[in-house]
A = this chain, B = another copy of it.
Amino acid sequence: MEGEGNAMAELVRIQTEGFSVEETVEEVKKASRGIGAVVSFLGVGRDVSKGKEIEGLDFEHYPGMAEKKLKDIRQRALKNFDITEMAIVHRTGAIDIGEDIVLIVAASAHRNDAFMACEWAITELKRTTPIWKRETTREGEVWVSETP
């Protein structure tokens, strides 16, 4: 378990600044030479939501609890799927259309496990992590209260 705290601090994080998909994938790949598959999910700000044109997004999180929930998702993914490593990065604050919002990277020996774990993790994130999205349209700003 030595260094586990540090590794997790890097692999699971919430930040306002952008992140690098490449660097995160490389960080995850370092976990083992037995990795044969790396599956990534990248969430991006869309220009349309429920038929309305979106001008911008803003994300708010519950500091402390949100990070805890993300770390918990990583731990449960490592326990319940045959994966080697997982990274979860979520941005908060103002996000433009086309900008990255969230990145989940799952690595495993064989691809099925990484696909399953990655898809599970983003679904679990939407379900359990206290993060909220505000959409700005021509009509104003509205907090989104459902996860499609």
Contact = CB atoms under 8 A, between A and B. Distances in A.
A41 B111 contact: yes
Interface stretch (A2-10, A21-29, A61-69, A137-145): A21-29
How many of these chains are in the complex? 2
A17 to B, nearest CB: 16
Chain A interface secondary structure, helix, strand, loop or mixed? Answer: mixed
Interface in A25-44: 25, 29, 33-44
Nearest to A39: B41
Contacts of A110: 148
Given A22-B21, A22-B22, A111-B122, A38 B44 contact: yes
Given A21-B21, A115-B115, A115-B119, A37 B44 contact: yes
Nearest to A109: B46
Given A20-B22, A98-B29, A115-B119, A40 B37 contact: no
Contacts of A21: 21-22, 25, 40
A44 B39 contact: no
Nearest to A42: B38
A4 to B, nearest CB: 22
Given A29-B98, A36-B45, 17 more contacts: A21-B22, A33-B98, A34-B48, A35-B44, A35-B46, A36-B46, A38-B41, A38-B44, A39-B39, A39-B40, A39-B118, A40-B42, A41-B114, A43-B111, A46-B109, A111-B122, A115-B118
